[in-house]
Amino acid sequence: MEAVPFIGIDRHRLGVDGVGVTTLAAFHGCPLRCRYCLNRRCLESPDGLPRYTPQQLYDHVGIDNLYFIATGGGVCFGGGEPLLRIDFIEAFRALCGKSWNLTAETSLQVPAESVRRACAVVGDFIVDIKESDPDIYRTYTGGDASRAWDNLRLMLSLVGPEHVTVRIPLIPSFNSEADTDRTADRLADLGVTRLDRFTYRVQ
Amino acid sequence: MTHGKNICNQLKEVRKRIAEENDIPLEIEECTYKGECRGTCPRCEAEVRYLENALAERLRLGKVATVAGLALGLAATTVQAQAPATAPAKIERTQHELSLMADCVTVRGMVRDSKTKEEIPFCRIHIVDYKTHVDIDTVVNNGFKGNFAIRVPKGEYYIHVHHIGYKEGGGRKWTIDKDTDIGDILLEQGVVPVIEVGGVESVPLSTTPPGHEDYYQGVGGAEIIVR
């Protein structure tokens, strides 16, 4: 498999990407164009970015193997949109086996088949659902909310709510607390039990 | 307590428990470094390598190597067929690094654009041993400024600086035998224009605590993303 570009690899993350000590590996590339994207580098040219094959990434992050095993941690794939690289993630899982937990932070703006394949190899998901109102969703991200929500339903049916954390952002100038309350209610109706509500602080 | 120190303490606790569970002698000395850190340093990394080698030795001797779960809720996991993939040659280097624990000093500097003289944040700064050409450490400078600070054992090093949109900077040899400020490292713009990292920060990882503007943030690892 050819090497793919990454915008960053961040070690020793505690409590932000799931259980234990994790390393965040952020892929380049995303189908959305969020107004307040946290990682704009993933939308620009991949020229100059470090590239890794699954084996190379495995060798690179393996420096923290002891922490991963001791704490139940592992690697969190983010980006960008990591499920655009499902081939890579599957190959990575084959390398690390069951000893590392794999997490994916995803917007779910990918084909349903990618979600199915991800559910077979990723242990936990952190879903950036953005918004439940389709107009707000499109205004903020440029994407279609229904695809993300359909994929969320699929994911919940495949892995169960205990492996899915959904993030609900309060985004100044785009949504309100009432909007986030409505989104939380809709998620509860779907069976989501793990929510992470937070507020964007625009600088 | 600073974020980096918090990470360091938790990782230290992991190492301590592993050593205790497996009867590995490990003297964890109180860190005397003052100021912000990124949660790990050559000394901490050397302890991990030491533990890996000690665990591998236990497995080679037919003993059980137990890698215990932490207070994060994991049960103890007995590792029998899964020896850490560490080559025996690293034992010597680890012992060398352990012996240098007391001799760490701080190297500071500032990364700037060679034309505009503006500070360049989010650079990767590689500290490479001059004699062995081994990459001692790679840090990322302060999230919103160009300054960096790193603890290294006394010695001779190359310091290379990388940033997207610039040609590699630094590259000269430095003799570091005391706390040293190497001044400005100027980066020349390359083919790809400087990409301004913007966006919104909703977690404190890249926020510089007041009074700690001199030090890089505790995000660890080789590279940084804006979270």
A138-158 confidence digits (pLDDT tens): 988 888 999 999 999 999 999
Note the pLDDT of residue A25: 95
E strand intervals along A38-194 = 51-52, 74-78, 101-106, 124-128, 164-170
> What would the two tokens of residue A136 be?
């707000």
Q: Which residues of A touch B11 (CB under 8 A)?
A: 12, 21, 67
* Predicted pLDDT at A183: 93
Judge: B199–A24 Cβ closer than 8 Å, yes or no: no
Whether residue A169 is predicted with pLDDT greater than 80 in this model: the reply is yes
**Which pLDDT does position B191 carry in this prediction?**
52
N- to C-terminal Cα distance for chain A?
40
Is this complex scored with an ipTM above 0.90?
no
Question: Within an 8 Å CB–CB cutoff, is residue B78 touching chain A?
Answer: no
Output the tens digit of pLDDT for each of chain B's 227 residues: 567 777 888 888 889 888 888 888 887 777 776 666 777 777 888 888 888 888 877 777 777 778 845 434 332 233 323 333 333 222 223 333 433 444 577 788 888 989 988 888 767 777 887 877 766 665 555 445 678 877 777 888 888 887 767 788 887 888 888 888 889 999 888 754 333 333 332 222 233 333 333 333 332 222 222 22
Per-residue model confidence (pLDDT) at position B135: 65
Of these ranges, A112-121, A128-137, B4-13, B156-165, the one predicted with the greatest mean pLDDT is A112-121
Q: Which residue in A69, A116, A118, A125 sits closest to A92, CA to CA?
A: A118
Between positions 153 and 192 of A, the ones with CB within 8 A of B are: 169
Cβ atoms A68, A24 nearer than 8 A: no
Q: In sequence order, what are the residues at sequence separation of 6 or more whose Cβ sits closer than 8 angstroms to the Cβ of residue A81?
A: A27, A29, A30, A31, A32, A106, A107, A109, A110
Measure the CA–CA gap between A162 and A144, rounded to whole angstroms.
26
What pTM did the predictor assign?
0.63
Judge whether A7 is closer than 8 Å to chain B, CB to CB. Answer: yes
Q: Is the pLDDT of residue A58 over 60?
A: yes
Beta partners for residue B172, in sequence order: none
Q: Please tell me if residue B81 touches chain A, with a CB cutoff of 8 Å.
A: no
Kindly report the nearest CA distance between residue B197 and chain A, in angstroms.
7
User: Is B45 in a helix, a strand, or coil?
Assistant: helix
Whether A70 sits inside 8 A of B192 (CB atoms) is: no
Task: Select from B68, B221, B225 the Cβ nearest to the Cβ of A7.
Answer: B225
What are B185's strand-pairing partners? B111
Instruction: Tell me whether B64 touches chain A (CB under 8 Å).
Output: no
Other C-beta atoms lying within 10 Å of the C-beta of residue B118: 11
* Partners of residue A199 in chain B, C-beta under 8 Å: 202
